[in-house]
Structure 1
Amino acid sequence: MEWDRENTIAQFVRDRRKKANLTQVELSDFTGVGLRFVRELEQGKPNVMTDKVNQVLLFFGHTLTPTPISDETRRNLGK
């Protein structure tokens, strides 16, 4: 499967990271995921899970996309 640098999630993460003035290393540290994962995510590397989810969602005419959450929901994450 080809990498797609222009996919919605790759663009979203890359744009948001840059707007937050973070390097990929800093994003990796803040989120607790590996630097390699961040790089591959921003480059649109196919991921087994998301590819399979998208395969199913495409059947119904949908795809996985980032969705904003409220500040309250964000504050309650991990509680």
Structure 2
Amino acid sequence: MTVLSTFIRERRKSLGMTQPELAEKAGTGLRFIRDLEQGKKTLRMDKVNQVLDLFGYELRPVEQKREQ
């Protein structure tokens, strides 16, 4: 399980939503929601963002400062 999958599941449950309801509201398939909540390693970032958008979040790259 990943931090993202745990966040999605807990957020969905706190809002009293089922997986099918979340899939419908996000415009994704039920299988995608199940894969997301189970921590599947390869998911489309645009679809993840469709789900996160419902909760007011967005997945995006973060700049890292590297020592040389």
Highest RCO, 1 vs 2 (Cα 8 Å, sep ≥ 6): 1
Q: Which of 16, 22, 29 pairs up with 2:17?
A: 22
Structure 2 distance, partners of 1:35, 1:69, is: 20
Residue type of the alignment partner of 2:22: L
Return structure 1 stretches of 4+ with deviation > 2 angstroms: none
2:34 is matched with 39
TM-score (ref. length: structure 1):
0.54
Query: Over alpha carbons, which structure has the higher Rg?
Result: 1
Identify unmatched segments of 5+ residues in structure 1: 51-65, 71-79
Query: CA RMSD of the aligned region, Å?
Result: 2.4
Structure 2 distance, partners of 1:17, 1:48, is: 18
Identify unmatched segments of 5+ residues in structure 2: 46-51, 58-68
TM-score (ref. length: structure 2):
0.62
